[in-house]
Structure 1
Amino acid sequence: MVRRMTMELAVDVARAAVQSCRDAGYQASAVVVDRVGIVQAVMRDTLANRFTLQAAEDKANAVILSGVDSSEFRLNRQDIRPEINQIEGVLMMDGGVAIRAAGSIIGAVGVSGAPGGDKDEICARAGVDEVQDRLDFAD
């Protein structure tokens, strides 16, 4: 069975991620992609810089490329970081988190706009945590 993310799930992840950053005092954007890297949901807080949209998408794409959260990918593959960052549409920075259902990656969320990728990742993880119950019970 091929597992796919619903539009509703993608929107809920993006909304919760941006709200988490907002609650922490950051203006950020969140982009949710499906398991092949196609954008499913985009949310930009009112004052988030427009460039945060591309950075968030590229962080999510790094998850799809590597199969792990972007922070783990960055730490594990320092040897190829400059080369990976030359691939259009991929950014090897913290802030991309996998969305998993029944052990399989069904997508990823990338966040950009907080002062540091570590904070972006906290917001991205909050987005996934918001829907974790639905993911845990996915068939």
Structure 2
Amino acid sequence: MHDSVAKIFSVFLSVVFLPLHAGDIVTHKRISPDLALEMVKHAVEACRQDGYQVTALVVASDGAEVALMRDAHASRFTIQIAREKANAVILSGVPSGAFRDNRRDIQQEMNHVKGVLVLQGGLPIAAGGYQLGAIGVSGAPGGDKDEKCARKAIDKIQDRLEFAD
């Protein structure tokens, strides 16, 4: 009986300590809902200071919405536009305006992809070599102004991203 317990323990140890193959386990970093909410607040406040009523939206790296804030007088359509700008960032890995500029050859086609809008105003959220998600802003009179508010929001929290675990 003692031998069978030893054999079972030996099999157990060999299974537990089997070498893992590269790619068998994937680590995924995400932006926290609290930090995402802080980001959208910063973006809305930045645009408000410039006199614009906007919507700001943060998505995770898989495109799932994490936080959303629409200022009191921002059109309800700005929600969809902000989301689709952020999705363009997730698709391309670069700011939505850069994606537009770099791929003018397919811009019209990309604007017909459900959930993606290739307009300026979406920026990647990255830290430590990971793309954590994207922020999209819509409602200011021009994507350059939307992007400015998104940039201010990222700048406000960038130190926290860089020093996060």
Name the TM-score class by shorter chain.
Answer: over 0.9
**Equivalent in 46, 52, 57 of residue 78 of structure 2:** 52
1:8-19 to 2 correspondences below 5 Å:
8-19=34-45
**Equivalent in 80, 90, 96 of residue 122 of structure 2:** 96
State the shift of 1:138 in Å.
2.1
* 1:43 has 2:69 as partner: yes
Q: Return the alpha-carbon distance in structure 1 between the equivalents of residues 129 and 148 of structure 2.
A: 21
Q: Is the 8 A contact 1:34 1:106 kept in 2?
A: yes
Q: Return the alpha-carbon distance in structure 1 between the equivalents of residues 44 and 155 of structure 2.
A: 13
Q: Is the 8 A contact 1:31 1:56 kept in 2?
A: yes
Structure 2 residue aligned with 1:84: 110
Q: Return the alpha-carbon distance in structure 2 between the equivalents of residues 68 and 90 of structure 1.
A: 13
Q: Is the 8 A contact 1:12 1:130 kept in 2?
A: no
Q: Is the 8 A contact 1:29 1:52 kept in 2?
A: yes
Q: Return the alpha-carbon distance in structure 2 between the equivalents of residues 91 and 124 of structure 1.
A: 16
**Equivalent in 100, 114, 124 of residue 74 of structure 1:** 100
Larger radius of gyration: 2
Structure 1 residue aligned with 2:6: none
Give secondary structure in 2 for the equivalent of 1:131.
helix
**Equivalent in 109, 121, 132 of residue 106 of structure 1:** 132
Give secondary structure in 2 for the equivalent of 1:2.
coil
Counterpart of 2:106, as a letter, is I
State the shift of 1:103 in Å.
1.7
- Across the aligned residues of Structure 1 and Structure 2, the Cα RMSD in angstroms comes to 0.7
State the shift of 1:38 in Å.
0.2
Using the size of structure 2 for normalisation, the TM-score is: 0.83
Structure 2 residue aligned with 1:136: 162
Structure 1 residue aligned with 2:90: 64
Counterpart of 2:92, as a letter, is S
Using the size of structure 1 for normalisation, the TM-score is: 0.98
Between 1 and 2, higher relative CO (CA 8 Å, sep ≥ 6) is seen in 1
| Structure 2 residues without counterparts, runs of 5 or longer | 1-26
Q: Return the alpha-carbon distance in structure 2 between the equivalents of residues 12 and 20 of structure 1.
A: 12
Question: Identity over aligned residues, as a percent?
Answer: 55
Q: Return the alpha-carbon distance in structure 2 between the equivalents of residues 87 and 127 of structure 1.
A: 27
Structure 1 residue aligned with 2:51: 25
Aligned length: 139
Structure 1 segments of 4 or more deviating over 4 A?
A: none
